[in-house]
Amino acid sequence: MGNLIVIRGNSGSGKTVTANALHEQLGENNLLIPQDYVRRTMLRVKDTPNNLAINLIKEMALFGIKNCRYTIVEGILPTSKYGQMLSEIINQAEKSFIYYYDLPFEETVKRHQGKTNPGFDEADLAKWFQPHDLLQVTGYR
């Protein structure tokens, strides 16, 4: 059984850069599951409650936990939509490492402005922003 790393946070918080660097550093036999890629590119679904990406991320994570040294799940992953699924996969791993980038809105805007081709604006960031969206999980390994 492998280990699970969950990296969550608002848009512009640095979670994708961190997840990509960690995936590269860990080397072979590690799985990276970016929420945006699964939802936007693979499935082309909106981030609504019970969207198809939630179950696909879960199935991919379970595969990774069974077959890889580390599985990294990365994204905004709001608790209201993804919390139950995350709680379920957290307890399936040998060890789980859960991180939340809890930055103020002003910092996420500042970081977003530094992107070369962001694809969305400050109004979108404000609409998506979830302050202090911590998972309420206990007893994970």
pLDDT band at 139 (very low <50, low <70, confident <90, very high): low
Residues 6+ apart with CB under 8 A from 3: 65, 69, 70, 71, 93, 94, 95, 96, 97
C-alpha distances out from residue 17 to 12, 14, 92, Å = 10, 5, 26
Instruction: Check if the beta carbon of residue 66 is closer than 8 Å to that of residue 74.
Output: no
**Span 50-71, mean pLDDT?**
98
Across 14-57, where does the E strand assignment appear?
Answer: 30-34
Predicted model pTM: 0.91
Give the pLDDT of residue 138: 64
Instruction: Please identify which residue in the block is written with the tokens 């699964």.
Output: 38
Give mean pLDDT, residues 91-104: 93
Lowest mean pLDDT among 15-19, 102-106, 111-115: 111-115
For the segment 14-37, the average pLDDT, to the nearest whole number, is: 96
> What angle, 0 to 180 degrees and rounded to 10, lies between the N-to-C axes of helices 52-67 and 79-90?
20
How far apart are alpha carbons 8 and 21 in whole angstroms?
15
Query: Is residue 141 over pLDDT 60?
Result: no
